[in-house]
Structure formats: structure tokens, C-alpha cells
Structure 1
Amino acid sequence: MKSAVCDTEVMVIKAGTGQIACGGVPMVEERSGEKGVIDPAFAGGTMMGKRYTDAAATFELLCVKPGAGSLSVDGVAAQLKDAKPLPSSD
């Protein structure tokens, strides 16, 4: 999916029900020629190679191209998914 307001592109790893947005604007499959305006409340940016998830963990998004807008699901900001700790090698 691609952001309609910035360069962010994500791959949907896990999908639930709800609307994925970036920069406060719903994401699209193909961008139109002109970019919209980022909502200041969703202007935290995305990082390439990082996974993002919603609070209920029903969505998991992998950022494949970073941008200025931040991700959200149904108006609630998505969180950076923590890496799983590796087992101890004692």
C-alpha cells in the first residue's frame, strides 16, 4: 500500500478489519499524480525495514519505503513492533 501524502510504502503482513492510513489519510494501492497534506498529528514518519502494529495486534505492516507520515489504523497511531529477544546461549 502507498501513502497518498508522502513517500511511505508498506507491505501488509497481517490484516484485520479497519482502515490503514498514513499521515492521517487512507492509504491507496496506486498514487494519483498529486500528494495531499499530512495531518500534523500523524507526522512522526516511518522507518524502512521496521514493522508496525496496531494496539490489538490485528494488523502488521512492514515499511518498504520510508516517508514523513506516520501509520495509523482507524485513527489510532500504529506502534513500532518490538523485536523478539533471542534465547540465551549459556
Structure 2
Amino acid sequence: MQLKVGETLESAVDATALVVVRCPDQDLTVTCGGRAMAPRGEATEKLPAETTGEGALLGKRYTVEGVEIELLCVQPGQHPVAVGGTPVTVKSAKPLPASD
């Protein structure tokens, strides 16, 4: 699926919702609980999860090593999120410069 900056993705297995903050110009599959996420309003009925693990946390930004993508969690859920089969990780904050 071709992602667009500002697009909200909804999970087909739980309440997880993510906003695309940054994405490459290529097709990527974002999954939650092993099921593909869909743009808001296009999600169908809830399906059983295929994977288990820790879910996304509200307000956290997520990224994948080697892929120029950033997702912001606007609604948390119980199932893990992945991009192209690779689990997402919480984006760490950049350290502020020291002030003397």
C-alpha cells in the first residue's frame, strides 16, 4: 500500500490507530497483530490477531531500522505493529545540546 503523510491507519484486530508522520515513496505493508492496517474508514470488521506481543503506546513515535518511516500512535492497542514484517521500535529522543 502506498502511504501518505498525515494518513491515519486503523488496525483490523484492535483499537490501534497510527498517523503517518514520514514515509518513503514505495509500497509498504503496515501490520498490527499480523493483519494489514487500513486507512481510516476503510477498515472492515475486527479479525483475530495472528501474532502476539506488546502493543503501541499512546503518543509514542515508532520507526523501523533501514526504512525511512515514522508512525505516531494516536490510539493504543494490545497487539504489535510491524512494517514489511519488521517490528517497529520506539523512536528515541534526540539529546539536547549542552548549555554552559
TM norm. shorter chain > 0.5: yes
User: Partner residue of 1:35?
Assistant: 46
Unaligned runs of 5+ in 1: none
Q: 2:82 and 2:12 mapped to 1: Cα distance?
A: 13
What amino acid is the match of 2:11? S
User: Partner residue of 1:20?
Assistant: 30
User: Partner residue of 1:6?
Assistant: 14
Q: 1:71 and 1:56 mapped to 2: Cα distance?
A: 16
Q: 1:38 and 1:68 mapped to 2: Cα distance?
A: 10
CA RMSD in angstroms comes to 1.3
TM-score normalised according to structure 2 size = 0.80
Structure 1 position 53 matched with structure 2 position 67: no
Q: 2:75 and 2:65 mapped to 1: Cα distance?
A: 23
Unaligned runs of 5+ in 2: 1-8
The aligned length equals 88
User: Partner residue of 1:66?
Assistant: 76
Identity of aligned residues (%): 39
Q: 1:87 and 1:57 mapped to 2: Cα distance?
A: 27
Structure 1 residue 40, shift from structure 2 partner: 2.9
What amino acid is the match of 2:55? G
Structure 1 residue 15, shift from structure 2 partner: 1.2
- Asked if 1 retains the 8 angstrom alpha-carbon contact of 2:51 and 2:80, the reply is no
Structure 1 residue 27, shift from structure 2 partner: 0.4
Structure 1 residue 87, shift from structure 2 partner: 1.3
Q: 2:29 and 2:81 mapped to 1: Cα distance?
A: 11
| Higher fraction of strand | 2
